Structure 1
Amino acid sequence: MLQDSFGRRFHYLRLSITEACNFKCQYCLPDGYHGPSDDTFLTLPEIDTLVKGFAGLGTSKIRITGGEPSLRRDFVDVIRLCRETEGITKVATTTHGGRMARDAAAWKDAGLDQVNVSIDSLDPRQFADITGQNKLTQILQGVDKAIEVGLDVKVNAIYLKHFAGRQLQEFKDWLKHMPVTLRFIELMETGDHPQFFADQHLSGLPLKNQLLAEGWMPVIRGKDAGPAQEFHHPDYAGRIGLIMPYSKDFCATCNRLRVAANGKLHLCLFSEHGIDIRPYLQNADVNGLMAHLQQLLMQKHATHYLQDGNTGATSHLAMLGG
C-alpha cells in the first residue's frame, strides 16, 4: 500500500495524458495552449507500466486528465487499458465536454465509470466569456448523453467572485431535476495568474454555511473520494459539492497522487517540482517503479502551503489536470 509518513494512504491516481487544451479559460490558459506537442507525452506502453505499478500498490481509482484528455487519438485505448488492469475498480476522466455528446457511448463501452465536466456558468454568454468557446449548448447535450449511457456525471464550476451570485441560483434551479453532482471549486492561485486570483478568489465557507442553513446534508465520503465535501437535499435530484483548498485541514484526508503527461510524479498539485519516473516506464520496469514510489512517498509534505502564497511549480492547471 502506498502510504506516507503521516499515515495517509493513496488509493487514487490522477493521470494526465496531455497538457494540450483547445479552450481558453480565464483562470487557466487565457491565451490558449502553446506547450509541447503530444508526441512528447507518455506513450500507451508507458501508461500500461505506470498503471500496473500503482495498482500493485493499492491504487483502485484512476482519473484520466489533461489538458483536455479527449484530444488524444488513443484516449479510448487509455480508458480500456486502465479498466483492464487488475486492481483498478474505478476509471474516471475530467473533460471540458466538447466531444462528449459524440463520444460518451464509446467511453462507456471502453470501461469509463465517471466523467467530470467543467461548466463554469449556465449562461451562454458568460460561459463563452470565461472559456473562450461558445459551446455551452453542445456541452449540455453531452451531459445528457453521458447520463443516458450510464456514466456517473459530476459538473465542476470554478467559484468566481464576479459571477458567484447569479451563478449559484442558476445552478441550484438546474439541480432540481438534473441528477448530477455539481462541485463549486475555490479558485486556486497559480504561478501565471496571481492577479486574477487576487481579483476573483472567493472562499467557499460562507456557501457551505448557506447550504447547511437551507437543509442540505453532508454525504459520507468513500475511501477513493476526491477532496469535495458533498451535500444532498430531499427536494433536489442533484447534489452540491465544495472543494475548498484554503480551508483548515484540507490536506488531512489527501488520498491522491498525480503523474504529469511528461512522466513526472507530483506528490502534490502545488509541489515545488515533479520527480521523473519515466525511466522506469520506458523500461517497462513495474517492480522497480513500485519500489521507487514507496521511497518517494516519504517526501510528501503535510500540506500544500497554498495558504502561505506558495504555488510551487504549477504555472497553470492544464499542466496536471487540477
Structure 2
Amino acid sequence: MQQQLVDNYQRRFQYLRLSLTELCNFRCQYCLPDGYKANKAHQFLTLNEISHIADAFSELGVKKIRLTGGEPTLRRDFTEIIALLARYPNINEIAVTTNGSRLESRILEWKNAGLTALNVSVDSFSPLQFAKITGEDKLHQVINGIDKALEVGMKKVKINTVLMKSLNDDLNHYLPWITDRNIDLRFIELMETGEGSAYFNRYHVSGSKIEQQLIEQGWQLMIKDQLAGPAKVYQHDDYQGRIGLIMPYSKNFCQSCNRLRISSTGKLHYCLFGDSAISLRDLLQQADQKEQLKTRVLDSLQIKPETHFLHQHNAGIIQNLSFIGG
C-alpha cells in the first residue's frame, strides 16, 4: 500500500510547491522593493537533488508540482527541470508561477518539455501602475507572453494579482480582460512578512470586498477540484474567464490546505508562514537514500499546525515572499 502524506488533522497533501531560486528580476513593492540581494552562502537545489525530491514525493502521493521562486524561469536549466518532472508518471500536473518576463520567447519550449499549467503575476493592467508596483515597465511584454501561451495551447492559464488598497482593488478594471479569454484571474490578499509589515499595514484590503461585488453582479461559486489551491473561484455566463479569491485571513482558510513547500535550498516548509523548517538536503544526494527521505518527510508532517498565525501578525520565519516561493 502506498504511503500517503496526511497530517494530524486528516489533511491530505498531493501538491508540492518547489522553489528553484530566490533570484528575481523584478522589484515588487510587497516582496523585494530594493531588488534581490545575492546570498553567496545559498547554493540552490541541483538537477540531481530535484530528481530525488520528485522521486520520493511522487511515491508519497504527490500528483502536482508547482515550480516557484523568486523567478524560477531564471534558472538556466529550467526546461530540463520540467522535462525531468515529466518523466514521473504519478505527477500529472507540472505548473509554474512566473512574472512572465520570459514567457513570450520560451513558453512553447516549456510546453513541449511537459509544462501543463501556468500562473503569471500581473498586479495591474495599467502600464504605469504595473511599473510602480513591480519596478519594471514590462506589462506589454508580459501580456504578449500570456497571449502566446493561449496561442500555443496551454490549457490552464491563471493570472495572479496581489490585492492592494487603492492601487489595484477596482474589480471593473479587470473584468473586460477576461470577457473573451479563458483564464482564471485570481486576487490574492496581501500577506504580512517579516520585512513587509509597514507595507502590509498601509495597503492590505480584504478579498471579501471583491467577493461581495462578484455576488452582487451575479457570479456563481464553482466546485473546487481536488488538486486545486485555496482559491474560491466564481464564474459568470457573460465571461469566458473566471475570478478567483485567495483570502488567507478568512475564517477556516487552513482547513483545506493540500500543499507542502520545499525551499530552493532544500528545506521542507509545512506552511508558508510556519516558524520552522526541516532540512532535507543531506538525504537528496544518493538514490539509495529515498526511504530515509520519505520517512523524514512523513515524520515531520506530524508537527504541521492546524492553522497559521497571521491574525496575530506572526509571519513565522518568512522574511519576504521570494524566500520559499510564496
| Band the TM-score falls in, shorter-chain normalisation | over 0.9
- Structure 2 Cα separation of the partners of residues 131 and 37 of structure 1: 25
1:28-78 Cα offsets, whole Å, 9 max, x none, are 000000033597100000000001111001000000000000000000011
Any gaps of 5 or more consecutive residues in structure 2?
none
Match of 1:312 in 2: 316
* C-alpha distance in structure 2 between counterparts of 1:185 and 1:319, whole Å: 18
TM superposition score normalised by structure 1: 0.98
**Contact persistence 2:42–2:265 (CA under 8 A):** no
Note the C-alpha offset of 1:292.
Answer: 1.2
For 2:325 and 2:298, the matched residues in 1 are separated by 23
For 2:210, the equivalent position in structure 1 comes to 207
Cα deviation 1:85-114 (Å, max 9, x = unaligned): 131010000000000000000010000001
Q: What CA distance in whole angstroms lies between the structure 2 residues aligned with 1:36 and 1:55?
A: 31
Q: After TM superposition, list the pairs within 5 Å mapping 1:1-322 onto structure 2.
A: 1-36=4-39, 40-151=43-154, 152-166=156-170, 168-284=171-287, 285-322=289-326
Q: How far did 1:223 drift?
A: 1.1
Q: 1:169 to 1:37 in 2, by over 3 A?
A: farther
Cα distance in 2 for residues equivalent to 1:81 and 1:171: 36
What per-residue deviation string (whole Å, max 9, x for no partner) do you get for residues 265-289 of structure 1?
Answer: 0000011122101011023321111
3-state SS of 1:197 partner = helix
Give the 3 Å change call, closer, same or farther, for CA 138–164 of structure 1 in structure 2.
Answer: closer
Aligned residue identity for 2:277: G
Which amino acid in 2 is paired with 1:47?
Answer: I
Q: How many residues align?
A: 321
Distance 2:246 2:129 in 1: 22
Rounded to whole Å, the distance in 1 between the matches of 2:202 and 2:15 is 33
Q: TM-score, normalised by structure 2?
A: 0.96
Q: Which moved more, 1:280-289 or 1:295-304?
A: 280-289
Q: Which amino acid aligns with 1:112?
A: L
Deviates more, 1:271-280 or 1:181-190: 271-280
- In structure 1, distance between residues paired with 2:14 and 2:177: 32
Q: Is the partner of 1:319 in helix, strand or coil?
A: coil
Tell me, yes or no, if the aligned pair for 1:268 and 1:300 is still in contact at 8 Å: yes
1:18·1:38 contact (CA, 8 Å) conserved in 2? Answer: no
For the residue of structure 2 that corresponds to 1:81, the secondary structure is helix
Q: Residue 62 of structure 1 contacts residue 92 of structure 1 at CA under 8 Å; is this kept in 2?
A: yes
- Aligned to 2:322, the other structure's residue is in SS state helix
Q: For residues 278 and 250 of structure 2, what CA distance do their matches in structure 1 show?
A: 27
Aligned 8 A contact 1:38 1:72 in 2: no
The Cα shift of 1:140 comes to 0.2
**Secondary structure of 1:318's match?**
coil
Deviations 1:144-199 (CA, angstroms, capped at 9, x unpaired)? 01111121210000100022344x21211111112110000000000001000000
Runs of 4+ deviating beyond 3 Å: none
Amino acid at match of 1:302: E
Using the TM superposition, give the Cα deviation of residue 220 of structure 1 relative to its aligned residue in structure 2, in angstroms. 1.0
Q: Distance in 1 between matches of 2:64 and 2:110?
A: 16
Are the structure 2 counterparts of residues 22 and 37 from structure 1 closer, same or farther at C-alpha, using a change threshold of 3 Å?
farther
Give ranges in structure 1 of 5+ residues lacking alignment: none
- Matched-pair contact (CA < 8 Å) for 2:22–2:322: yes
Query: 1:282 aligns to what SS in structure 2?
Result: coil
Which amino acid in structure 2 is aligned with residue 178 of structure 1? R
